[in-house]
Structure 1
Amino acid sequence: MMRTRPLKVALLGCGVVGSEVARIMTTHADDLAARIGAPVELAGVAVRRPGKVREGIDPGLVTTDATALVKRGDIDVVVEVIGGIEPARTLITTAFEHGASVVSANKALLAQDGAALHAAAEQHGRDLYYEAAVAGAIPLIRPLRESLAGDKVNRVLGIVNGTTNFILDKMDTTGAGYQEALDEATALGYAEADPTADVEGFDAAAKAAILAGIGFHTRVRLDDVYREGMTEVTAADFRSAKEMGCTIKLLAICERSADGTSVTARVHPAMIPLTHPLASVRGAYNAVFVESDAAGQLMFYGPGAGGSPTASAVLGDLVAVCRNRLSGTTGPGESAYADLTVSPMGQVVTRYHISLDVADKPGVLAQVATVFAEHGVSIDTVRQQGKDGEASLVVVTHRASDASLSGTVEALRKLDTVRGVASIMRVEGE
């Protein structure tokens, strides 16, 4: 039998995602009630600009006092889609204190203060769900923390930012330069007026911290994630990648060490073979590749941003939290029992593609090879082109630590015959 008293939902934020959440709650009200076992009622909407017309939302529900809304005491679930650190953090903890569970899409806050938010939820016996914080509509958080709870996850490798994937895909398929591809992404609405969070990897780094924490049962904060943006990727890099049978993607990579005692989390551009499943992810789509002991290799793919896809994830969490509310239970909380060491970037081991501008004269290759050998970095292949006293030297290494590669590059820069280090790109997915 369905409970007749509705579960009351407070919505914090009514932008692209929030307005879509409200629309779906209204248009799918009967289906949601049937799935939950009780009706859900939008009890209030907190916004910054109350005078704006919001189609389908009763103006009487709109308020600028978000704090009063979450303190009401009759709110069952707070949906937070305002983003940022404050006031979101205070509003979420206040919601817990006044008896509400929380559904959030706030990747930045969860990456920075996830442990404290989980502790507050547990203290007050409430849920904290955040499927929408990573990869939009793609079911990823729940599979990692529930479906794979009995397995050992060793690696999470993914494209988790649609804007950067659109830009790099355009550079790859059309030969466009970075700025040209960015301009197109902006015109189409994929990139913000200020794209820094996307193109410099901040957005992906927050998502990497969340994925690593869940996958490895270890607290990983945003500050633990190595981050490198993609603004320096050039058309020449793509030409080199194609010669190697690769393409370039901005990847979030979370790995458990071979001995199982530590983890690393990083975001940076990388060359990946065209045979890898992530190489075929086009446009603004996201995809995440998960490797575990028992399940093997799993791929999660779909739209990673936008109002409707993100709202889909929010509503999925809302249904789960409301069901828990009716049954008097809570879902999985934080799992950080493993408490593994988070290792610095210098300990990461991978392959590298290094492009050098050098003098076109005898002995240069020998000098360069000597520097690599002195730093313990083994060379796999070398390609050299020269003209009019100038030359380009492309070196692809075997696997080496990031610290060893950094030492190698520093020494190369000091050679008189090396005019400059044009590009350094990691090679992943092999």
Structure 2
Amino acid sequence: MIPQEIIRRKRDGDELDAADISSFIAALAAGQLSEGQIGAFAMAVWFKGMSRAEIVALTLAMADSGDRLQWADIDRPIADKHSTGGVGDNVSLMLAPIAAACGLAVPMISGRGLGHTGGTLDKLESIPGYIITPDANLFHKVVKEAGCAIIGQTGTLAPADGRLYAVRDVTATVDSIPLITASILSKKLAAGLETLVLDVKVGNGAFMADRGQAEILAQSLVEVANGAGVKTSALITDMNQPLADSAGNAVEMRNCLDFLAGRKKDTRLETVVLAFAAEMLVKSGIAASSDEAETKARRALSSGKAAEVFARMVSMLGGPADLIENPDRYLARAPIEKPVPAARSGWLAACDARGIGVSVIDLGGGRRHPADRIDHRVGFSELLPLGTRVNAGEPIALVHAADEAAAERAATALATHYRITEDRPELTPVIAGLV
């Protein structure tokens, strides 16, 4: 196998056969390809695309590049959820313990921030002591005893995807349907899932800004996953504004803890979390209908059972046992907190969600290069949702920054990301469709 020949053929629009794809991915996993070659392959795929057969071959090759997990001794349906990435999207943090509290086993393999979007692992790393890459025995133990475990890719689980994922982040090749499909599903196939629910984001803060493209991606994911034997569906959700009222790492973790403690109700975030919980429970046979499933999910929240599951997972993975009760003891705060005033009176009518995500990176809460260190303290909180009436000078968000100059820059940038109008806007529903 000559890597540059495979790159050239894809660059020229040829369809690669499964053997060529398998050989290229095996070389990638073995560390035999340079970052230049990986980036060139990703860019060729971005420009030329892949057939369904190529996507299947790429997905299977990456899934087979490492170990496949087994759950034979767990007497629960094995299920998971994955998001294509958004801003203020911390659904997984609440959803996994809710689903586990309702009777599912959730081995959730998550990722770091990608492009302008936040990463579940980066948020979890704001918890002191939390082990995001436990060994296989501990991972299995936590899933079995707590009901869920949210971790990162270990070196033995789809390792080829781990390296490709990092290169995509810094080569402007994130928003490729074949690469997104293979990246997501290779990890899910390797995780030994029985059912999977996907959150395909659409809007100016998503990788798929166009509804048609989002539907194509959802269809690709669902078809490839079902074809590989994992019962899969996808919800298309709106990402034209941050999903939570926070964007960052520790600030989103605080949002998660408030949600599990019952302090974040009647929000767009709650709508999405409960919709995915219902879909997971119905897909796995725990509930017969969406209404029954949502009732179960709400009961898991209101009873405190979901919070107990989350607390146990955190404790078993090295974090503090009393995180939910004492978040201020463990989650670091940025030294500067600065309100962002509304530029004028009126209605918050629209925002640049992608721009907000980029502003988090500018604060130090994301990466420009794979090796960059993240400042988990920084970001935005108390973001007002679109459709809110504001007065000039009233805070529309709170900036968390490492110093005064960074706070001032971020506050100025954030204000420009919102459009305020005299007329009340018509907002799009947060759940846009089901595939």
TM-score range, shorter chain: under 0.3
- TM-score normalised by structure 1 residue count: 0.22
Larger Rg computed on CA atoms: 1
Query: Higher helix fraction: Structure 1 or Structure 2?
Result: 2
- TM-score normalised by structure 2 residue count: 0.22
